[in-house]
């Protein structure tokens, strides 16, 4: 059975490599011809990047020359996949945060996957009493209001809940969960800490409360360490650290004037910054006016401990205590400690796969770098606006689940 799966994966790799080379050269190529006849060093690095994006860390750039034909490279990729994944898949789910939304997100899945459609409809129904409209209709209409915080957060929650439930229906059950920002609500729901109705209410109210905060805040990404960021914000009370995504990938959030002063200071050091397209300064001191209103709502709601390992990006670690009002209130202004939480998840749970649950990949590159070539396979459940049911079937197959995997097992 394992040999049959390896053969099928190797065949899929050969076909994919031949397609990519034909794309580069605008002509078909032979699988036995030396790759150096087709590729120079720049094109070889580009092919390596394509392999990394499609399959995760199966190869190193030098492997393209060590295994010099499509047939040999595909066989090596299949062998690496077999050794890495072993016989038992242990998948962790990582839920994307705000900023991953886009008009029409998961439209192809909704139209062509009965399972996903049912779960998205379920989440939309739970949200509708608070949003006043169907997030499904918002998505299918490609409505630009998807970028308004009051609708962004409910829509993202619904999509991520539906994607996770669809994977579970295909027998992909997470060994642990982690959520970035608003993604924590979907993670907590899948982990059993929040019910769908309670999570829908909290997410909708959270987004609405934030929407009506005064504008004027901003967010800025910089290639600096958290320690450097802490020094910079010490003199700017209106600015805080919003997210720590990697060792040198930090997001600052707060008053725009303060951010611009910090940007000037970093420019003197030769550090460039990137301002994010946001309506408000999330996870910053400017969120403080939302706290009492949100706390008044969440403290009346039941909550519980997660039924599977929940890695908190508020605390940057595994939490076993119930996720109650103090947790969700603190989450509004606390930095997203993604890097700490993700590293602990990888070290403690040793997943064979990490699946990014969201409408497009945002966190997958960080996760791949953390895991390295010996780490888990990191793959997004959605590649972007054009993802459909065929792409989802490929992800499920890569996770040894669903009808395709069952067919292979019986071969």
83: pLDDT strictly greater than 60: no
Contact 106, 120 (CB under 8 A): yes
Residue with tokens 């190529």: 29
- Report pLDDT digits (tens) over 179-228: 999 999 999 999 999 999 999 999 999 999 998 887 778 889 999 999 99
Q: So what's the pLDDT on residue 60?
A: 78
277: pLDDT strictly greater than 90: no
Q: Name the maximum alpha-carbon separation found in the chain.
A: 68
What whole-number distance in Å separates Cα of residue 183 and Cα of residue 308?
Answer: 16
**How many whole angstroms from its chain centre is CA 50?**
19
- Within 13 A of 30's CA, how many CA atoms are on the CB side? 5
186 vs 257: which has the higher pLDDT: 186
What whole-number distance in Å separates Cα of residue 284 and Cα of residue 333?
Answer: 5
pTM beyond 0.85: the answer is no
Alpha-carbon dihedral sign for residues 137, 139, 143, 149: positive
74: pLDDT strictly greater than 80: yes
Q: So what's the pLDDT on residue 84?
A: 57
Instruction: For strands 217-222 and 249-255, give the pairing.
Output: antiparallel
Q: Is 254 exposed, middle or buried (0-12, 13-18, 19+ CB in 10 A)?
A: buried
Q: So what's the pLDDT on residue 24?
A: 79
For the segment 257-274, the average pLDDT, to the nearest whole number, is 91
401: pLDDT strictly greater than 70: no
**Counts of helices then strands in the chain (DSSP H, E):** 18, 10
Mean pLDDT of the chain: 87
Q: So what's the pLDDT on residue 406?
A: 43
The full DSSP string for 75-89 is: HHHHHHHHHHH-SS-
Q: So what's the pLDDT on residue 128?
A: 97
89 vs 328: which has the higher pLDDT: 328
336: pLDDT strictly greater than 80: yes
Beta sheet of 249-255, edge-to-edge order: 239-246, 249-255, 217-222, 273-275
Q: So what's the pLDDT on residue 398?
A: 85
For the segment 294-319, the average pLDDT, to the nearest whole number, is 91
Contacts 24+ apart (CB under 8 A), 46-54: 47/17, 47/20, 47/21, 50/20, 51/77, 52/368, 54/16
What whole-number distance in Å separates Cα of residue 232 and Cα of residue 85?
Answer: 43
Q: So what's the pLDDT on residue 36?
A: 76
Q: So what's the pLDDT on residue 214?
A: 76
3-state SS, residue 184: helix
Per DSSP (E only), the strands in 228-351 are 239-246, 249-255, 273-275, 310-312, 317-319
């Amino acid at each position: 059975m394992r040999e049959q799966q390896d053969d099928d994966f190797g065949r899929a790799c050969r076909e994919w490599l031949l397609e990519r080379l034909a794309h580069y050269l605008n002509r078909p190529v032979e699988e036995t011809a030396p790759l150096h006849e087709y590729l120079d060093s720049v094109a070889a690095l580009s092919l390596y990047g394509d392999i990394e994006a499609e399959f995760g860390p199966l190869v190193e750039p030098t492997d393209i020359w060590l295994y010099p034909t499509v047939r040999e490279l595909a066989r090596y990729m299949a062998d690496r996949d077999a050794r890495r994944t072993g016989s038992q898949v242990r998948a962790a789910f990582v839920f994307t945060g705000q900023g991953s939304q886009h008009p029409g997100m998961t439209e192809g899945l909704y139209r062509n996957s009965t399972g996903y459609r049912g779960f998205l409809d379920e989440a939309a129904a739970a949200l509708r009493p608070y949003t006043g409209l169907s997030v499904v209709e918002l998505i299918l209409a490609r409505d630009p209001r998807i970028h308004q915080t009051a609708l962004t957060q409910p829509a993202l929650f619904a999509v991520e809940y539906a994607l996770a439930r669809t994977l579970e229906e295909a027998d992909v059950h997470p060994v642990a969960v982690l959520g970035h920002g608003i993604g924590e609500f979907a993670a907590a729901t899948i982990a059993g800490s929040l019910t769908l109705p309670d999570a829908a209410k909290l997410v909708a109210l959270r987004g609405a409360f934030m929407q009506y905060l005064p504008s004027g805040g901003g967010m800025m990404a910089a290639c600096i360490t958290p320690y450097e960021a802490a020094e910079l914000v010490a003199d700017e009370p209106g600015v805080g650290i919003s997210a720590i995504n990697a060792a040198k990938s930090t997001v600052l959030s707060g008053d725009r004037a303060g951010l611009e002063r910090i940007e000037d200071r970093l420019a003197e050091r030769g550090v460039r910054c990137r301002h994010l397209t946001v309506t408000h300064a999330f996870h910053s001191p400017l969120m403080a006016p939302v706290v009492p209103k949100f706390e008044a709502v969440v403290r009346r709601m039941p909550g519980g401990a997660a039924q599977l390992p929940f890695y908190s990006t508020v605390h940057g670690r595994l939490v076993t205590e119930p996720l109650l009002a103090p947790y969700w209130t603190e989450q509004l202004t606390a930095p997203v400690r993604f890097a700490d939480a993700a590293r602990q998840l990888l070290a403690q749970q040793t997943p064979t796969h990490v699946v990014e649950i969201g409408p497009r990949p945002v966190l997958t590159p960080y996760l791949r770098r953390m895991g390295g070539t010996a780490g888990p396979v990191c793959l997004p459940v959605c590649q972007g606006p054009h993802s459909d049911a065929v792409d989802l079937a490929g992800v499920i197959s890569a996770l040894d689940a669903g009808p395709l995997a069952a067919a292979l097992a019986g071969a």
